[in-house]
Chain A
Amino acid sequence: MKAGKTRLQKKTVPTEIHGDASTPDGIEPTESIENIEADMVVMEKVSFAYDGQCADIHNVSLSIGRGEWVTLAGANGSGKSTLIRLMNGLLRAGSGSITIGGTKLEPGAIGGIRQKVGMVFQNPDNQFIGATVEEDMAFGLEGLCLDAEEMRSRISRYASSLGISDLLHRHPQELSGGQKQRAAVAAILAMEPELIILDEASSMLDEMARRDWLSLLREMHSEGRYTLLSITHDAEEIAASERVLVMHEGKLAADLMPGELFRSEELLRMCRMVPPFRTQLALELEKRGIRPADAGLGSGTVNMDLEDERIWPFSWNM
């Protein structure tokens, strides 16, 4: 518990090392040891050989600062899922080193690292261990050997902060997809991790639930306690994050800002994505020789807030 608190304070130190990183490998050669300590995830020359199920990883080096919100993009089979499963020891790297929150990933350290890393998976049904939301939240806490009093207080605290207090006694089959994913996040957050990895966690949600999900991620991010690493195909979710790592055939193909990704046709094709509608429209207009006002595209961030009723791109000068 104490160690956790000091870690929390450490996090408030600004560590935005990679906010502007756009080099393909994302590793600054001159990083001081201090900075490496402060980084949440450091992977150096990590490789993983195909095991019949998970894709190869070739020599991937990257680092993710504390408090960052990073998207991991790429086509299916590009190695995204393998990469994140290497981070908490669900898979074991063939070579290279992985450091999570200053702790090197070694067989003996896996228990400690899994405490720091919370993972939410794609299928809301299959990650539910308990028979009710409450029991599911308790499952992870029991493993942390907390006493019953502490468990109860954490469960009620995190359930209420995620707005699922009413659902605590429900069976997973009585919940909607969005509610299930919220419950999964609550179960993870109750364990008070520092790094939260989302493995296509929103892909099975319907539209409304996806919007809820996005605002949940925004909230978690603004709280500043968590480093978010999310695998997603959802353009809005990507646009809301701060940085995108693009995987391609087991290698890190790019490390850039979301806005830059949406402007690179090549990278988008690599990720099997199309730009958001307004960006597509702007591109189509450009093709026809009309340059809309620089708003939106020039700044590098594509504004995709649905509530945003800006009239761009209709405000161009005719």
Chain B
Amino acid sequence: MAIQLEHVSYTYDARSLLRQTALQDVNLELAEGLLTGIAGSSGSGKSTLLQLLNGILLPTEGAVRVLDMTLAAGKKPPKLAPLRRRVGLVFQFPEQQLFAETLEKDLMFGPVNFGAAPEDAAARARKALKQMGLSEGLLSRHPLQLSGGQRRKAAIASVLAMDPDILVLDEPGATLDQISRMELTSLLHYLCREEGKTIIVVTHHIDELLPYADRWVIMHEGRAVFHGTRRGLVDEAERLPGCGLSIPQPIRCWRELEAAYGLQAEEPCLSPSALADRMVRLASAAAGKERVYA
């Protein structure tokens, strides 16, 4: 288990007038090497959840176990640096957090902080840039000279350069155009499949992540109200509107199909091409049957 949350609650400003409970009794187990999508309306506690995963926030109740480390409420946390190197956290609008004068320095910042030698850090910077599909030519540029989409990818690369085992992203596609968002999603999918990273990503575009995510977590009012596979999400899709989410088109389409053809036990096809393939097979099967009857 890469990540385990046991009865985790988090309250902001626990001792002040402004106390606000952001998470309540969350229990989750996120397996290694999978791509997990987290969805929920704003204010459902998604961002808080992510910040618990690398010790930026410590639980006010319960325990968070990440890899071999435990962050328990009320206990002095272990040294956080090793945890943070292995769990890369990408905040919302990460391009706004770049600060060095060249992209290369920014990319090297993480590795150097975690004790990598300069040459080693430079090599990692290069690798991370490539993993995010950007060219090395950008290394000497000032981050502000890049386009919006490039800057976003570069900022993700700056976390990736630490070579984390777990990559956690808070709405990486926000305000990007659709094609850039989809490029980003397929990059994340690649990192998960080919490089064995555990990826946890918060998204407002469930439909676009559906073909890629292995697991889903739905957050609502500080609780994890759903945690399961794609199949499970399809089965329980009626619950989404109650959580401030609408049922994504791919799920609607698939459910129309499965209701018509009794495919409830099957792994759902949620991308246009997969769904079309499945429909073609259904059509030819039907045609075959007709032939038999004839």
Q: Nearest residue in A to B275 (C-beta to C-beta)?
A: A281
A8 contacts B by Cβ under 8 Å: no
Question: How far is B273's CA from A207's CA once the two chains are assembled, in angstroms?
Answer: 24
Chain B: minimal CB distance from A24 (Å): 22
Contact A206 B204 (CB under 8 A): yes
B246 contacts A by Cβ under 8 Å: yes
* Interface size, chain B (Cβ < 8 Å): 39
- CB-CB under 8 A from A77, the residues of chain B are 147
B286 contacts A by Cβ under 8 Å: yes
- CB-CB under 8 A from A176, the residues of chain B are 42-43
- CB-CB under 8 A from A284, the residues of chain B are 272-273, 275-276
Contact B175 A204 (CB under 8 A): yes
A3 contacts B by Cβ under 8 Å: no
Chain A: minimal CB distance from B239 (Å): 14
Contact A277 B272 (CB under 8 A): yes
Q: How many A-B residue pairs have CB under 8 A?
A: 92
Chain B: minimal CB distance from A37 (Å): 37
Q: Nearest residue in A to B244 (C-beta to C-beta)?
A: A208
Chain B: minimal CB distance from A231 (Å): 11
Interface centre among A122, A178, A203, A207 (most CB of B within 10 A): A207
Question: How far is B206's CA from A306's CA once the two chains are assembled, in angstroms?
Answer: 14
- CB-CB under 8 A from B179, the residues of chain A are 269, 272-274
Question: How far is B43's CA from A309's CA once the two chains are assembled, in angstroms?
Answer: 30
A140 contacts B by Cβ under 8 Å: no
Q: Nearest residue in B to A304 (C-beta to C-beta)?
A: B249
B228 contacts A by Cβ under 8 Å: no
Contact B147 A76 (CB under 8 A): yes
- CB-CB under 8 A from B204, the residues of chain A are 206-207
Q: Nearest residue in B to A76 (C-beta to C-beta)?
A: B148
Question: How far is B253's CA from A113's CA once the two chains are assembled, in angstroms?
Answer: 47
Question: How far is B43's CA from A272's CA once the two chains are assembled, in angstroms?
Answer: 30
A40-82 interface bits toward B, Cβ cutoff 8 Å, 1 = contact, 0 = none: 0000000000000000000000000000000000011100000
- CB-CB under 8 A from A281, the residues of chain B are 253, 272, 275-276
Which residue in B147, B177, B206, B249 is a CB contact (below 8 Å) of A276?
A: B249
Question: How far is B271's CA from A281's CA once the two chains are assembled, in angstroms?
Answer: 8
Q: Nearest residue in A to B276 (C-beta to C-beta)?
A: A284
A290 contacts B by Cβ under 8 Å: yes
A318 contacts B by Cβ under 8 Å: yes
Which residue in B41, B177, B244 is a CB contact (below 8 Å) of A273?
A: B177
Chain B: minimal CB distance from A314 (Å): 5
B245 contacts A by Cβ under 8 Å: yes
Residues of B contacting A: mostly? helix
Contact A204 B43 (CB under 8 A): no
Contact B42 A314 (CB under 8 A): no
Chain B: minimal CB distance from A88 (Å): 23
Q: Nearest residue in A to B248 (C-beta to C-beta)?
A: A277
Contact A306 B283 (CB under 8 A): no
Q: Nearest residue in A to B182 (C-beta to C-beta)?
A: A274
Chain B: minimal CB distance from A315 (Å): 10
- CB-CB under 8 A from B253, the residues of chain A are 277-278, 281
A246-282 interface bits toward B, Cβ cutoff 8 Å, 1 = contact, 0 = none: 0000000000000000000000010111101110110
Contact B272 A318 (CB under 8 A): no
Question: How far is B208's CA from A207's CA once the two chains are assembled, in angstroms?
Answer: 13
A233 contacts B by Cβ under 8 Å: yes
Interface residues of A in 273-300 (CB under 8 A from B): 273-274, 276-278, 280-281, 283-285, 287-288, 290
Given contacts A76-B147, A276-B249, A277-B272, contact A290 B42 (CB under 8 A): no
Contact B279 A290 (CB under 8 A): yes
Question: How far is B250's CA from A127's CA once the two chains are assembled, in angstroms?
Answer: 35
- CB-CB under 8 A from A172, the residues of chain B are none
Chain B: minimal CB distance from A1 (Å): 39
Question: How far is B207's CA from A276's CA once the two chains are assembled, in angstroms?
Answer: 10
A171 contacts B by Cβ under 8 Å: no
A177 contacts B by Cβ under 8 Å: yes
- CB-CB under 8 A from B246, the residues of chain A are 207-208, 211, 306
- CB-CB under 8 A from B263, the residues of chain A are none
A197-208 interface bits toward B, Cβ cutoff 8 Å, 1 = contact, 0 = none: 000100110111
Question: How far is B180's CA from A271's CA once the two chains are assembled, in angstroms?
Answer: 11
Interface residues of A in 195-223 (CB under 8 A from B): 200, 203-204, 206-209, 211
B29 contacts A by Cβ under 8 Å: no
A145 contacts B by Cβ under 8 Å: no
Interface residues of B in 139-153 (CB under 8 A from A): 147-149
Given contacts A272-B179, A285-B279, contact A208 B174 (CB under 8 A): no
Name A's B-contacting residues (CB within 8 A).
75-77, 122, 176-178, 200, 203-204, 206-209, 211, 233, 235, 269, 271-274, 276-278, 280-281, 283-285, 287-288, 290, 306, 309, 311, 314, 318
13 more contacts with CB within 8 A, not counting A271-B177, A277-B250, A306-B252, are A75-B177, A208-B41, A208-B246, A274-B178, A274-B179, A274-B182, A277-B249, A277-B253, A281-B275, A306-B246, A314-B260, A314-B279, A318-B282
Can you name 5 A-B pairs with beta carbons within 8 Å? A209-B42, A274-B179, A274-B182, A281-B272, A306-B252
